[in-house]
Structure 1
């Protein structure tokens, strides 16, 4: 019985860690894209 609970908790922990990694990766990617777009727009405005 104890082993089942321990294994379940371990699996939940691993899944939450993986989910957090994916989430933070997506957020950082979006931030990077936003900054890149901002720089592009600024450069375009400066050219005009």
Structure 2
């Protein structure tokens, strides 16, 4: 299985940015990821802290 370029801490940081009011497109451009990826991450990692993801 292919490893992700983005770690768990970065995933949660992107989700927190989105929850803070940033549009989904802004963090996606910065981290070079797709908007669908962020939506699926939000389902999986939504509401977690960085320490919870480990």
TM-score, structure 1 normalization: 0.31
The structure carrying a bigger helix percent of its residues is 1
Ranked by relative contact order (alpha carbons within 8 Å, sequence separation 6 or more), the top structure is 2
- Larger Rg over CA atoms: 1
* TM-score for both structures, normalised by structure 2: 0.28
